[in-house]
Structure 1
Amino acid sequence: MWGLFNETILIPFCFLLTLSISVRADPQTKLLNLGCSNYNATNPSLFITNLNATISDLLSHISASDGGGALFATAGNARSVTPVYALAFCRGYLSRGDCLGCLTSAAARLRACGSGTGGRVIYDGCNLRYESAPFFEQGTLPGNAPVCVNGTASAGGFTSVAEGLLQDMSSATPNIAGYFVDEVRGGVYAVAQCAPTVSKLVCSDCLQVAFNNIKGCLPSWEGRAIDAGCFMRYSGEAFFSANNTVDLSAYLSSGHKRKKNTSIIIGVAVVCALVFLTLLLVLVWVRRRKRPQESWRADILGATELRGPMNFHYRDLKSATNNFSKECKLGEGGFGQVYKGTLKNGKIIAVKKLAMTQSKNVKSSFLSEVKLISNVHHQNLLRLLGCSTKSDELLLVYEYMANGSLDKFLYGEMSGMLNWKQRFDIVVGMARGLAYLHHEFHVCIIHRDIKSSNVLLDDNFRPKIADFGLARLMPGDQSHLSTYFAGTLGYIAPEYVIHGDLTEKVDAYSFGIVVLEIISGQRSCDSKLEHVPQHLLELAWKLYEHDNLPNLIDKSLDPNEYDLEEVVRVITIALLCTQTVSLRPTMSEVVVLLLSQHSLHLSLSRPAFIESPGKVRDAVISYTGSSSADPTTILMPKFSAR
Structure 2
Amino acid sequence: MTTSSSSLVLDFSFFHTTNSNSFESDSATMRIKISHFIYLSFSFIFLFFCDPIASDPQAKLLNKGCSSYNVTSLSAFISNLNSTLAELRSQLNSTTRFATAQRPGTVDPVYALFQCRDYLSTADCVSCFDTAQSEIQKCSAANGARVIYDGCFLRYEGNGFFDQTTLPGNRALCGNETAASVNETAASGNKTTVLGSDGFRDAVNGLLTDITTAAPRMEGYFAAARRGGAGGAIVYGVAQCAPRVSEEGCEQCLKVAYGNIERCMPDVDGRAVDAGCFLRYSDTAFFSDDQVTDLAPFLRTGGGSRKKKKAIIGGVVGGGAFVLLLLFFILLRRSKKAKNPQKGDILGVTELQGPVNYHYNDLKSATKNFSEENKLGEGGFGDVYKGVLKNGKIVAVKKLMIRQSKRAREDFESEVKLISNVHHRNLVRLLGCCSKGSELLLVYEFMANSSLDKYLFGNRRGSLNWKQRFDIIIGVARGLAYLHEEFHVCIIHRDIKPGNILLDDNFQARIADFGLARLLPEDQSHLSTKFAGTLGYTAPEYAIHGQLSEKVDTYSYGVVVLEIISGRKSNDTKLEPVAQYLLEWAWKLYETDSLMKLVDESLDPNEYEKEEVKRVIEIALMCTQSTVASRPTISEVVVMLRSKGDHGLNPTHPTFIDAASRVQVKVDGADASTSTISSTSNATMSISQYSGR
- Normalising by structure 1, report the TM-score: 0.53
- Written as runs of structure 1 = structure 2, the 5 A alignment for 1:30-109 is 87-89=171-173, 90-91=177-178, 100-101=192-193, 109=204
Residue 402 of structure 1 aligns with an amino acid whose one-letter code is: A
> Which of these residues, 129, 141, 145, is aligned with residue 242 of structure 2?
141
SS in 2 for 1:394: strand
Other-structure match for 1:381: 427
**C-alpha deviation, 1:399, in angstroms:** 0.6
SS in 2 for 1:539: helix
> Which of these residues, 105, 112, 116, is aligned with residue 207 of structure 2?
112
- Written as runs of structure 1 = structure 2, the 5 A alignment for 1:356-395 is 356-357=402-403, 366-367=412-413, 370-395=416-441
SS in 2 for 1:338: strand
> Which of these residues, 610, 618, 621, is aligned with residue 572 of structure 1?
618
SS in 2 for 1:395: strand
User: Given the superposition, is the C-alpha separation of residues 397 and 93 from structure 1 closer, same or farther in structure 2, using an over 3 Å criterion?
Assistant: closer
Residue 615 of structure 1 aligns with an amino acid whose one-letter code is: R
The answer to whether the 8 A contact 2:528-2:547 is kept is no
- CA-based RMSD of the aligned residues comes to 4.8
- C-alpha distance in 1 between matches for 2:278 and 2:192: 21
The answer to whether the 8 A contact 1:88-1:103 is kept is no
The answer to whether the 8 A contact 1:471-1:484 is kept is no
**C-alpha deviation, 1:434, in angstroms:** 0.6
Verify: 1:583 aligned to 2:678, yes or no. no
Other-structure match for 2:309: none
Residue 587 of structure 1 aligns with an amino acid whose one-letter code is: I
User: Given the superposition, is the C-alpha separation of residues 102 and 356 from structure 1 closer, same or farther in structure 2, using an over 3 Å criterion?
Assistant: farther
User: Given the superposition, is the C-alpha separation of residues 354 and 102 from structure 1 closer, same or farther in structure 2, using an over 3 Å criterion?
Assistant: farther
Q: Deviations over 1:47-102 (max 9, x none)?
A: xxxxxxxxxxxxxxxxxxxxxxx9xxxxxxxxxxxxx9972232256585996337
Other-structure match for 2:33: none
Other-structure match for 1:167: none
Greater Rg by CA:
2
Unmatched 5+ residue regions in structure 1? Answer: 1-27, 36-69, 71-83, 123-127, 132-138, 145-193, 207-225, 230-291, 299-305, 626-633
**C-alpha deviation, 1:562, in angstroms:** 1.4
Other-structure match for 1:542: 588
Other-structure match for 1:217: none
SS in 1 for 2:455: helix
**C-alpha deviation, 1:542, in angstroms:** 0.4
- C-alpha distance in 2 between matches for 1:393 and 1:29: 54
Other-structure match for 2:641: 594
Other-structure match for 2:653: 606
The answer to whether the 8 A contact 2:414-2:515 is kept is no
Q: Deviations over 1:573-613 (max 9, x none)?
A: 10001111221111111111111223132332213557997
User: Given the superposition, is the C-alpha separation of residues 364 and 424 from structure 1 closer, same or farther in structure 2, using an over 3 Å criterion?
Assistant: closer
The answer to whether the 8 A contact 2:468-2:507 is kept is yes
SS in 1 for 2:568: coil
The answer to whether the 8 A contact 1:350-1:397 is kept is yes
Residue 586 of structure 1 aligns with an amino acid whose one-letter code is: T
Q: Deviations over 1:240-267 (max 9, x none)?
A: xxxxxxxxxxxxxxxxxxxxxxxxxxxx
Other-structure match for 1:636: 684
- C-alpha distance in 2 between matches for 1:597 and 1:346: 44
SS in 1 for 2:640: helix
The answer to whether the 8 A contact 2:387-2:397 is kept is yes
**C-alpha deviation, 1:536, in angstroms:** 0.8
User: Given the superposition, is the C-alpha separation of residues 534 and 639 from structure 1 closer, same or farther in structure 2, using an over 3 Å criterion?
Assistant: closer
- C-alpha distance in 2 between matches for 1:578 and 1:419: 25
> Which of these residues, 561, 583, 588, is aligned with residue 607 of structure 2?
561
Larger RCO (CA under 8 A, 6+ residues apart) = 1
SS in 2 for 1:100: coil
User: Given the superposition, is the C-alpha separation of residues 404 and 528 from structure 1 closer, same or farther in structure 2, using an over 3 Å criterion?
Assistant: same
Residue 113 of structure 1 aligns with an amino acid whose one-letter code is: L
- Written as runs of structure 1 = structure 2, the 5 A alignment for 1:88-487 is 88-89=172-173, 90-91=177-178, 100-101=192-193, 109-114=204-209, 141-142=242-243, 308-357=354-403, 366-367=412-413, 370-472=416-518, 481-487=527-533
- C-alpha distance in 1 between matches for 2:343 and 2:567: 44
- C-alpha distance in 2 between matches for 1:612 and 1:341: 36
Unmatched 5+ residue regions in structure 2? Answer: 1-59, 63-115, 120-147, 149-167, 216-221, 225-235, 246-270, 281-337, 345-351, 665-673, 689-693
The answer to whether the 8 A contact 2:466-2:603 is kept is yes
- C-alpha distance in 1 between matches for 2:212 and 2:500: 37
**C-alpha deviation, 1:511, in angstroms:** 0.2
User: Given the superposition, is the C-alpha separation of residues 130 and 322 from structure 1 closer, same or farther in structure 2, using an over 3 Å criterion?
Assistant: farther
- C-alpha distance in 2 between matches for 1:500 and 1:87: 36
Residue 598 of structure 1 aligns with an amino acid whose one-letter code is: G
User: Given the superposition, is the C-alpha separation of residues 493 and 439 from structure 1 closer, same or farther in structure 2, using an over 3 Å criterion?
Assistant: same
Q: Deviations over 1:123-150 (max 9, x none)?
A: xxxxx9999xxxxxxx993499xxxxxx
The answer to whether the 8 A contact 2:551-2:631 is kept is yes
- C-alpha distance in 2 between matches for 1:399 and 1:103: 54
- C-alpha distance in 1 between matches for 2:449 and 2:372: 19
Q: How many residues align?
A: 398
Verify: 1:504 aligned to 2:539, yes or no. no
SS in 2 for 1:486: coil
Q: Deviations over 1:320-339 (max 9, x none)?
A: 11111111111113232111
**C-alpha deviation, 1:636, in angstroms:** 1.1
The answer to whether the 8 A contact 2:388-2:395 is kept is yes
The answer to whether the 8 A contact 1:363-1:389 is kept is no
User: Given the superposition, is the C-alpha separation of residues 413 and 623 from structure 1 closer, same or farther in structure 2, using an over 3 Å criterion?
Assistant: closer
User: Given the superposition, is the C-alpha separation of residues 485 and 569 from structure 1 closer, same or farther in structure 2, using an over 3 Å criterion?
Assistant: same
The answer to whether the 8 A contact 2:401-2:438 is kept is no
SS in 1 for 2:193: helix
User: Given the superposition, is the C-alpha separation of residues 361 and 546 from structure 1 closer, same or farther in structure 2, using an over 3 Å criterion?
Assistant: closer
Residue 465 of structure 2 aligns with an amino acid whose one-letter code is: N
Other-structure match for 1:24: none
**C-alpha deviation, 1:547, in angstroms:** 0.9
The answer to whether the 8 A contact 2:536-2:658 is kept is no
Verify: 1:523 aligned to 2:523, yes or no. no
- C-alpha distance in 1 between matches for 2:684 and 2:631: 25
Percent identical: 57
Verify: 1:624 aligned to 2:684, yes or no. no
Residue 519 of structure 1 aligns with an amino acid whose one-letter code is: I
SS in 1 for 2:463: coil
SS in 2 for 1:345: coil
- Normalising by structure 2, report the TM-score: 0.49
SS in 2 for 1:316: helix
User: Given the superposition, is the C-alpha separation of residues 624 and 371 from structure 1 closer, same or farther in structure 2, using an over 3 Å criterion?
Assistant: same
- C-alpha distance in 2 between matches for 1:623 and 1:449: 17
Residue 114 of structure 1 aligns with an amino acid whose one-letter code is: T
The answer to whether the 8 A contact 1:87-1:129 is kept is no
- C-alpha distance in 2 between matches for 1:457 and 1:129: 45
User: Given the superposition, is the C-alpha separation of residues 358 and 129 from structure 1 closer, same or farther in structure 2, using an over 3 Å criterion?
Assistant: farther
- C-alpha distance in 1 between matches for 2:561 and 2:598: 12
Residue 612 of structure 2 aligns with an amino acid whose one-letter code is: E
